[in-house]
Structure 1
Amino acid sequence: MPMHEFPRIKKDDLVAEFPGVFDTANYTDVGVGWLGLVREFVNEALPHDPALIVHEIKEKWATMRIWCDTPVLGARLAKGKAEFKSGMTCEVCGAPGHIRRPPPGRHAWWRTLCDEHASDDQRSWGTGHQGPFYGHMQTRDGQWYRYDETTDSMIPSEPPAQWR
């Protein structure tokens, strides 16, 4: 599936739903399957930081990246959680999905897709967790957090093994 052959989140819709948060965003270039994650992020972050401003949302290496101005820990954890969960959520439809990484030597976009929206070729690539920091994030003060699927939250943790 070529990169832009599915519906994308429209900035105007986010501006209407979250006045002030996306008004000055450069762009929002992710699939509508991640709309629930964007909403969850904003609804979770705003109570911590009512001045939250999002500059852009895009896909990179099959996961969502959110650029925003917030020094507030609760909002930063909401951002980290949304970005991490995007690697388990189909960008096309929002169903559970997997990061589809092309085999070595194959030049193709990494994508997070469910089996229904992955092409036969993409389904053959297999699925897996990504790298030694999978599910982890570090805050500006040096504290590490990891995503806990049971509680659907970012919880304090030890650094990944490579950082101990």
Structure 2
Amino acid sequence: MKKIFIAFLLVALAGLPTIISARDGYGAAGCGLGAVVIAENKKVHQVIAATVNGFSGNQTFGISTGTLNCKTAGVSEKQRQQQIFVHVNYRLLEQEFARGNGERVGALASLMGCKDSAAFGRVGKEKFATLFEANTPDSFLDRMRSEVSSDARLVSSCGI
């Protein structure tokens, strides 16, 4: 069974580039314990790193937690930053959205990738009752994300 697994890895890795960008912090085997233990980026080393990752099943943990050379700056990390910001600033966001502008409205617009914080604030003011209807930070954030993806002004401003 091990020979089949290693042969499969050799075939899979043969098609991958020998050098993966240094900014990724890992080679062709991907992030995980193998990337931490085996830093060299030669094919044979990457096969060993992939084997370590495969047998220990640690890549999922690394990706979920941002450890083991796995990066978490993707969508889930951005959503987590938005969630933390909204939870910490919920009542102040509610006050600022009632006015249609404010420092926290601008910060949330930025966290959501929106360049035009004024349009973001105007939409928030127009949809205030709907956005804050359930009176919870998570509900507000879900509804705001929905508005950002469905409102024509925000779609162009937020690059969605």
**Structure exhibiting the larger radius of gyration computed from Cα positions:** 2
User: Which fold has the larger relative contact order, with Cα–Cα distance below 8 Å and residues 6 or more apart in sequence?
Assistant: 1
Instruction: Compute the TM-score of the two structures, normalised by the length of structure 2.
Output: 0.24
Bigger share in helix: 2
Bigger share in strand: 1
